[in-house]
A and B are shown apart, each in its own frame.
Chain A
């Protein structure tokens, strides 16, 4: 019996512990899901909101834009997120999914921009790339002047354009699941692709061939998918000065002592250039709010006003210090007003 007695307390405490899992309700707290690009910004706001008000600090999950909107559109109720962030605009298919699941009224707020940079180690010279140069270096297949599609023959930047440096092409960037990759393809690869006149015609005549040509990245080791960890890319750039890396402006801004951003189409990726829309590779950052939750979960309106306050997302706000490119003043005012009025999304 003595051996049994030794086991018993263990079992009993385990059962008490399980019994302790009673029906305590989870406390109401704002839940935010979405883009990993918006994550560092929205978490800054969430933290200050928690510090400055009596509301609990919102929970922010980094799920990616698409994953976040999927969760957001899953329905209403306290098991679903109240706010979704995205590094692109919500798609029509997502709005339809939302309304199918009863999420009818969605408030859309544009909070700022993010620039995508092509950076390298500070130990080598800055280069000015055109979108066409980058496309020719990184596309799987490229069009030639005779209207034919050939496999990408280039392995040195000088072969792409005689004005570029004589180094091996080596670019590290995000995988296809990333929103940064989508924006990069859209703003650089497609733009570079369309500099060939006959490709423009292909767009109308054979859409599938056009997309395959313009949107497919190289798979022969020249373009290296470096995963979602941009800090890793920064470290690799320092170790290998011949390589270039593709990531968001925030990472360049935090590491200006070791890496530098190269200009694209003659415009360097500086704060002002991105803010005034001159730098060609920038995208908008959005958040989406469930209107039906505003009265259910305490603090949503207060959170939005913290987010859209001048000291946060305004031109001189703390989000700018975190690497987000703020909206121009009049546009910021417009979106702040829409946020305050909880104006519905318009397509």
Chain B
């Protein structure tokens, strides 16, 4: 008896030890996964933080009377005014390369800033206007410390004279950084200091709306039909296998499909969120169908029996009792599919959404791009300043994703609670 017990306790100790080790392995792997996630986000946030700051330079622009015709204010030579103001501020720029660099201190937006100011305040003509102009990307990077001073006295593309000018501006407190609102309200630009995420954000939102509007009703209805109504036979097995296969098809294939059917076939406009959303809908459809079928299957059979028992028709049973119960899980499936669609660039490449588009799309027919495409385009640009823009855009994409998931969770819980309160 005694011997028997000791043998058992030895085994028990081994089993307990195994349990402890397994728990620790689990903790370590969770910790590692979280650690990598935090590390990745921290690196991106660190690289992207610079994009939230915009460097501005104060410049006195003499608005001489003879430069303006009061009836044609928008035709004045604002570009020339800026250039001469810069030459006045830094008279030591004499050689061609120095002059060129001088004109590159300010962004190409500067003449438009001045034009807007003059059109708004025509009475200032004749005086000198002191305005804060957006600095060019090279000055911006140098002032924010993203480019280091080389031993030869230059900093990146800024020649040593330009470095001296920036230092002089710093001493005169005529250069500062402000919060970069433009990044969140502006469209794409080839000038990093002017580039904004808004048009891509709108493009993504429109595409996803179309995607949801098409794929969710179709997905849920086909799931209901396949799960509840169709007779199980060879044909239904065939459909089922194909839907499962479709979920695993590489996304670029859907892009090609979109190009040949929607653009070449139906003649829908290229680069539009409409076509983008339709292609993404094709892609998310299988995911939604599979998730919705699983959701329907998980509804207890007693619900159906009770409903039928009380005299409900099969249609009533499904639409009044089964589908509402399955809805939370269906929504989860839809959100997972949408989250996948949010990050796609490959299918959009084929339908022309990988493009330089400045204007914010005003309808689902106007050309648009999407957030991941914008990140791809910026990361591929030669100007160094686009690196921080791309990182900041990644953060915006992640925030967009979090908002989407959060709203799904809230929606889901709302659905769930109401049903429980009313019926149980």
CA distance A56 to B214 in the complex (A): 31
Residues of A within 8 A of B272 (CB): 26
Residues of B within 8 A of A79 (CB): 263, 267, 269-270
Tell me which residues from 83 to 106 in chain B have a Cβ below 8 Å from any Cβ of chain A. Answer: 96, 100, 104
In the complex, how many residues of chain A place their beta carbon closer than 8 angstroms to a beta carbon of chain B?
Answer: 51
Could you give, for residues 1-41 of chain A, a 1 whenever the CB lies within 8 Å of some chain B CB and a 0 otherwise? 11110110001001001100100111101010000100110
Residues of A within 8 A of B165 (CB): none
Q: How far is the CB of B80 from chain A (nearest CB, A)?
A: 12
Q: Is the interface of B mostly helix, strand, loop or mixed?
A: loop
With an 8 A cutoff between CB atoms, is B182 at the interface? no
Q: Which of B148, B154, B352, B364 contacts A21 (CB 8 A)?
A: B364
Whether the pair B150, A61 counts as a contact (CB closer than 8 A) is: no
CA distance A250 to B156 in the complex (A): 14
Max chain A C-beta neighbours (<10 A), residue from B112, B154, B366: B366
With an 8 A cutoff between CB atoms, is B213 at the interface? yes
With an 8 A cutoff between CB atoms, is A167 at the interface? no
Whether the pair A26, B355 counts as a contact (CB closer than 8 A) is: no
Tell me which residues from 353 to 369 in chain B have a Cβ below 8 Å from any Cβ of chain A. Answer: 354-359, 363-367
Known: A18-B213, A43-B190, A59-B357. A231 touches B380 (CB 8 A): yes
CA distance A4 to B271 in the complex (A): 38
Q: Which of A7, A14, A57, A59 contacts B323 (CB 8 A)?
A: A7
Nearest opposing residue in chain B for A321, CB measure: B104
Known: A46-B356, A60-B356. A40 touches B190 (CB 8 A): yes
With an 8 A cutoff between CB atoms, is A256 at the interface? yes
Q: Which of A11, A57, A321 contacts B359 (CB 8 A)?
A: A57
Nearest opposing residue in chain B for A43, CB measure: B356
With an 8 A cutoff between CB atoms, is A47 at the interface? yes
With an 8 A cutoff between CB atoms, is A44 at the interface? yes
With an 8 A cutoff between CB atoms, is B139 at the interface? no
Known: A14-B213, A14-B216. A26 touches B320 (CB 8 A): no
Q: How far is the CB of B420 from chain A (nearest CB, A)?
A: 12
Nearest opposing residue in chain A for B150, CB measure: A257
With an 8 A cutoff between CB atoms, is B384 at the interface? yes
Max chain B C-beta neighbours (<10 A), residue from A21, A248, A318: A21
Binding site for B on A (CB under 8 A): 1-4, 6-7, 11, 14, 17-18, 21, 24-27, 29, 31, 36, 39-40, 43-44, 46-48, 50-51, 56-57, 59-62, 79, 228-231, 248, 250-251, 253-257, 316, 318, 321-323
- Excluding A17-B213, A253-B157, A257-B155, 5 further A-B contacts by CB distance (< 8 Å) are A43-B190, A47-B356, A230-B382, A254-B383, A255-B384
* Nearest 4 pairs of A and B residues by beta carbon: A60-B356, A57-B358, A61-B355, A26-B269
Instruction: Show 6 residue pairs from A and B whose CB-CB distance is below 8 angstroms, ordered by the A residue.
Output: A7-B319, A7-B323, A43-B190, A46-B356, A47-B358, A60-B355
